[in-house]
């Protein structure tokens, strides 16, 4: 079975009603990145950061996977699919994707602020209890913090993503500006000659090649076309 590797960004989740960070009216307009997405912001005001991510979780509970999410999951019937996402939501999993690499962490998980990547102290929040009280502690006694990779922190899953990209038979990019590194460099690991599809209504900085297919449209409309091209069948209805 051919390997399909997919890199997704905020554009695929925007169709589900989740605010993006960088677009006009996005989350960074209301909360500076330094305040809620850096270790320094956490150290300065952990209660504010905790409230910010509690609010994001409430938004996520109200969101549903888009048609693009669901069509990606359907492709597992024809391809060995690995989704590498810059998003911290769980919409890929809820749509049915079974192999998802979260480069920037997971919104529905919390961890120790002393030892964030120690699996002993990572906990998954489930509805309806998705809010963390300011001052709440992890099992090691440190403050509970979101299991999110903040700016200035290492990206533990990057090596896994690079390994997947280097074995791709088809590489698909959906809804990401490719402005955030190291994720933006992932396409450099794709073998030469591999078909690369880009779905985004805005220009995306990917080197031109005979194997590059650019679809300047939304995630779901683009996935309809890509699904048909990769399978030879019309995209099936999804919920």
Q: Which domains does the chain have, with CATH numbers?
A: 1-17+65-104+154-239 (3.40.50.1220), 19-62+109-148 (3.30.1600.10)
End-to-end CA distance of the chain: 26
Average pLDDT over residues 4-21: 86
pLDDT confidence of residue 30: 67
Average pLDDT over residues 3-25: 79
Spatial distance between the Cα atoms of 2 and 13, rounded to a whole number of angstroms: 26
Residue 237: how many CA atoms within 13 Å on its side-chain side? Answer: 1
Average pLDDT, the chain: 90
Nearest CA-CA partner of 218 in 174, 156, 158: 174
Looking at per-residue pLDDT, the higher value among 21 and 82 belongs to 82
**Distances in whole angstroms, Cα of residue 131 to Cα of each of 51, 53, 90:** 8, 8, 16
pLDDT confidence of residue 197: 95
Please tell me the pTM assigned to this model: 0.92
Average pLDDT over residues 189-216: 90
Confidence of residue 210 (pLDDT cuts 50, 70, 90): confident
In the chain, % of residues over pLDDT 90: 73
Q: Does the pLDDT at position 28 exceed 50?
A: no
pLDDT confidence of residue 178: 75
- Which residues participate in catalysis according to the annotation? 104
pLDDT digits (tens, 9 = 90+) for 92-148: 999 999 999 999 999 999 999 999 989 999 999 998 889 999 999 999 999 999 999
CA torsion angle 10 11 14 16 (round to 10): -100
- Helical axes 219-231 vs 67-74, angle rounded to 10°: 20
Spatial distance between the Cα atoms of 188 and 196, rounded to a whole number of angstroms: 11
Confidence of residue 21 (pLDDT cuts 50, 70, 90): low
Spatial distance between the Cα atoms of 70 and 156, rounded to a whole number of angstroms: 27
């Amino acid at each position: 079975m051919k390997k399909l590797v997919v890199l997704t960004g905020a554009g695929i989740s925007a169709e589900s009603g989740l605010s993006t960070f960088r677009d006009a009216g996005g989350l960074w307009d209301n909360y500076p990145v330094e305040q809620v997405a850096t270790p320094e912001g956490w150290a300065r005001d952990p209660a504010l950061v905790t409230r910010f991510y509690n609010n994001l979780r409430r938004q996520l509970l109200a969101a549903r996977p888009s048609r693009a999410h669901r069509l990606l999951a359907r492709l597992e019937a024809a391809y060995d699919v690995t989704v590498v996402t810059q998003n911290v939501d769980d919409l890929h999993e809820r749509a049915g994707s079974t192999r998802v690499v979260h480069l920037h962490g997971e919104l529905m998980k919390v961890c120790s602020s002393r030892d964030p990547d120690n699996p002993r102290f990572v906990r998954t929040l489930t509805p309806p209890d998705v809010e963390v009280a300011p001052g709440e502690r992890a099992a090691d006694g440190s403050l509970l913090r979101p299991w999110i990779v903040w700016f200035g922190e290492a990206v533990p899953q990057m090596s896994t993503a690079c390994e997947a990209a280097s074995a791709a038979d088809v590489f698909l990019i959906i809804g990401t500006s490719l402005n955030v590194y190291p994720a933006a460099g992932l396409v450099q690991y794709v073998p030469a000659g591999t078909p690369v599809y880009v779905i985004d209504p805005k220009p995306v900085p990917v080197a031109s090649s005979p194997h590059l297919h650019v679809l300047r449209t939304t995630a779901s409309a683009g996935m309809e076309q890509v699904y048909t091209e990769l399978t030879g069948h019309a995209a099936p209805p999804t919920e």
